[in-house]
Amino acid sequence: MHTAPLATSDLHVSPLALGTMTFGKEADEATSHALLDQYVAAGGNLIDTADVYSKGLSEEIIGRWLKGSGKRDEVLIATKARFALEKGGPRGLHPGYLRGAIEDNLRRLDIETIDLFQPHTFDPQVPVAEWLGLIKEFIDQGKIRYLGVSNFLSYQLQETIDVAKYEGLPTVVSLQPQYNLLDRHIDYEVMDVCRINNIPLLPWSPLGGGWLSGKYQRDSLPTGATRLGEDPTRGVEAYDKRNTERTFAILDVVSDIAADHGVSMAQVSLAWLVQHPQVGSVILGARTAKQLADNLGAADLTLTSDEWDRLDEVSQPHTPDYPYGFMDAMGGR
């Protein structure tokens, strides 16, 4: 895989990143280490984790892999903090909590520097300048290289950018949102803020919880060893929420293009994101070597402009009448 600069930073990232939310839970340590080896051998270099993934165990597994493999200089480590690791535990972006959370990130990963630190969500209870000031301290100490953010709304992202600019504090070089052919709600507002400020996306859940791989069928409740097979009500990809005509209209186009190329539906869905002009790297999630190998194949798939446009058109999000529909009609958007 090739690498490209992430915005204005000197982080050069591969088009496919490895997400590690399953490490320590759905994938044991040996499997997790094998997935890391497989990903790096394929040319990937961006590993994404968080303190809440398996209550810190994901970071510890990565840390032991880094030490045992000797590959720290070959990869970039992105992690997050903000949420409580235990029910009712401390959380947020207040410097009194965040300082310890970042030190814990470093300790569990057993590294001296986090390449990309990302608040897991915004914290409306803490002034932006306060937590940005703490990030600056860590950058000045060489413990963080760059700041990204995750799951920020448009006004939260713009406020962070503006405060950084006017206070001389570290600015944002990436946004990690949910984004895929089935869920494109950030096309309203968030995408515009990213485009205006040259902030690339690092999309999570690029296959919509498995929907875009074609594993789920119309009006047939999932079963077996899949996320929805184990829990059909799981999160935003819950079966009842996604079992719609729009979903299967998108899947039909994905299936047609996959057949034309002789590749999997997952590869087509991922390739659409890889070729999206606002995407910096796509965060893969895999339980098995077979899944990861198939997903990594997306790096070698190039959609034609017509194919990309077909997918873009069929997956357009519903436009609310106001304000977006109104502004479209008035030529104001």
Paired sense of beta strands 4-5 and 12-13, if any: antiparallel
> For residue range 253-277, what is the model confidence (pLDDT) as tens digits?
999 999 999 999 999 999 999 999 9
Contacts of 309 (CB under 8 A, 6+ apart): none
Q: Is residue 86 part of a domain?
A: yes
Q: Is residue 108 part of a domain?
A: yes
Q: Which domain CATH number covers 114?
A: 3.20.20.100
Residue 332: its pLDDT value, please?
A: 79
Q: Is residue 330 part of a domain?
A: no
Residue 224: its pLDDT value, please?
A: 67
Query: In which domain, by residue range, is 121 found?
Result: 4-211+273-301
User: How many domains is the chain partitioned into structurally?
Assistant: 1
Count CB neighbours of 280 within 10 A.
Answer: 26
Q: Is residue 183 part of a domain?
A: yes
In the chain, the amino acid numbered 72 is R
Q: Is residue 193 part of a domain?
A: yes
Residues 163, 166, 172, 177, Cα dihedral to 10°: 40
Q: Is residue 243 part of a domain?
A: no
Which residue ranges of the chain lie beneath pLDDT 70? Answer: 224-227, 229-230
Q: Is residue 156 part of a domain?
A: yes
Vertex 315 angle, CA 311 and 319, to 5°: 145
Q: Is residue 328 part of a domain?
A: no
Residue 296: its pLDDT value, please?
A: 98
In the chain, the amino acid numbered 202 is L
> For residue range 83-110, what is the model confidence (pLDDT) as tens digits?
988 888 889 999 999 999 999 999 999 9
